[in-house]
Amino acid sequence: MLNEGEYSLVPSSGFVVKTALEVPMTDPPASAGTKVFLNICYNKRVPEAPGGFEKIEEAIMRDDWAIPVIVSSAREDTDKAGSKCLVYDCCANTKILQYALRDSNVRLVLIESCLEVAEHHAGTVFSRGILSTTTAYS
């Protein structure tokens, strides 16, 4: 189990979610509309969901879900076209990521968890309207 604070993990790659900023942010400075990539990755040291991943579907039905994720600070990068973008690494427990790759509902909940934690960490809002996923890791 990991405690809050700074620590180092060596994550394994999962998939990438592409979205954009809904509102500007100051650290790092970026305007609304800037592309954002979330690298959804995994490591066994990240805590499992409360009650284990077997209880997630039941929690989703009650709209009472929580998937622990660890989110890095934003790093500036460029996309394929050479435009400025932001990248976050969002690390979940190995078991939940494997489950999310098999179950689209769990995958959506994992993506939403990553978006919410990254938004909270960065003090911004990401678009939900232009989400796309790929297996390529940014």
Domain ranges of the chain: 12-133
What is the pLDDT at residue 50? 72
Helix ranges restricted to H, 4-85: 56-62
A 10 A CB-CB count for 106 gives: 22
Q: Which amino acid is at 130?
A: I
What is the pLDDT at residue 78? 95
What is the pLDDT at residue 57? 64
Condensed to tens digits (0 to 9), the pLDDT of residues 40-73 reads 999 999 988 776 656 666 666 666 667 889 999 9
Between the CA atoms of 14, 60, 20 and 123, what dihedral angle is there, to the nearest 10 degrees?
-100
What is the pLDDT at residue 3? 53
Condensed to tens digits (0 to 9), the pLDDT of residues 81-129 reads 999 999 999 999 999 899 888 888 888 889 999 999 999 989 999 998 8
HSE, side-chain direction, 13 A CA sphere, residue 106: 19
**For residue 1, is pLDDT > 50?**
no
> Using an 8 Å Cβ cutoff, are 16 and 37 in contact?
yes
What is the pLDDT at residue 100? 87
Task: Kindly list the distances between the CA atom of residue 134 and the CA atoms of 19, 29, 38, 58, in Å, as whole numbers in the listed order.
Answer: 12, 26, 10, 27
Full-prediction pTM beyond 0.75? yes
